[in-house]
Amino acid sequence: MTPLVVGFDLDMTLIDSRPGVIASFDALNRALGTTIDGEAIAAHLGPTLESEMAAYFPADEIDAVCDRYREIYAELGPSGSSLLPGAAAAVASVREHSGMTLVITAKFEPNAHLCLAHVGIEVDHVIGWRHGPQKGETLLEHAAHVYVGDTLPDIEAAHLAGAHAIGVATGPVSADDLRTAGANTVMDTLDEFPAWLSTFTAS
């Protein structure tokens, strides 16, 4: 297997971004006089920002309000992000196997870079603005062997690319639901990842 290529989702897979998301929606609400429920959005991170905003704004305002949110998030999001258990060691373990690391995320790419820098994770490539099947296309382009994510579209994306789908239950989806959705491997946290990778690369 040369070279090993492993992709990771970002939100709720490598980082707990909920506090930064809530703070950003609070700031947006103050700026616009709106009542967007940031806590509810943060509780099920995964859908695109555009689809979340569609519940609150007419279609012709969504692009502008999403741009405004992303500006605010660039200020408040990174400092409201923290490493999930085992995330740094998981990324490091791929390097120890001479592998290439990708982060493939629906998040606006510059903001993904800011969040990763804040938590001190370096990967080989960050590919943002990818959601659902687009993640699968990006995994295919990079010939990824493994994709690690916390939501059902992440599992589907891995399968689309013929990659080993790892579901990690640190997000809104339970381990049982990740398993039912077809994850090849399910982990409670990424603390389990390095040992799994050693077995995977030996097989």
Residue selected from 16, 52, 150, 156 as contacting Mg ion according to rule CB under 5 A: 150
Polymer length in residues for the chain:
203
Question: Of residues 37-56, which lie at the interface with Mg ion (CB under 5 A)?
Answer: none
User: Two tokens at 63?
Assistant: 């692009």
**Choices 18-26, 93-101, 149-157, 172-180; region in contact with Mg ion by CB under 5 A:** 149-157
Decide: is 156 part of the binding site for Mg ion (CB under 5 A).
no
**Choices 1-9, 26-34, 57-65, 69-77; region in contact with Mg ion by CB under 5 A:** 1-9
Helix 87-96 and helix 193-202, axial crossing angle in degrees, nearest 10: 20
Closer residue to Mg ion (CB): 3 or 133: 133
**Choices 9-17, 28-36, 94-102, 176-184; region in contact with Mg ion by CB under 5 A:** 9-17
Burial class (CB in 10 A: 0-12, 13-18, 19+), 199: exposed
Residue selected from 6, 8, 11, 53 as contacting Mg ion according to rule CB under 5 A: 11
CB of 198 vs Mg ion, minimal distance in Å: 25
Closer residue to Mg ion (CB): 57 or 103: 103
User: Two tokens at 129?
Assistant: 């603005």
Question: Are 105 and 130 within 8 A, CB to CB?
Answer: yes
Dihedral sign from CA coordinates of 160, 164, 170, 175: positive
Closer residue to Mg ion (CB): 11 or 52: 11
DSSP string, 69-90: HHHHHHHHTGGG-EEPTTHHHH
d(CA 88, CA 97): 15
CB of 46 vs Mg ion, minimal distance in Å: 5
Distance, C-alpha 80 to centroid of its chain: 15
Closer residue to Mg ion (CB): 29 or 134: 134
Residues that bind Mg ion (CB under 5 A): 9, 11-12, 150
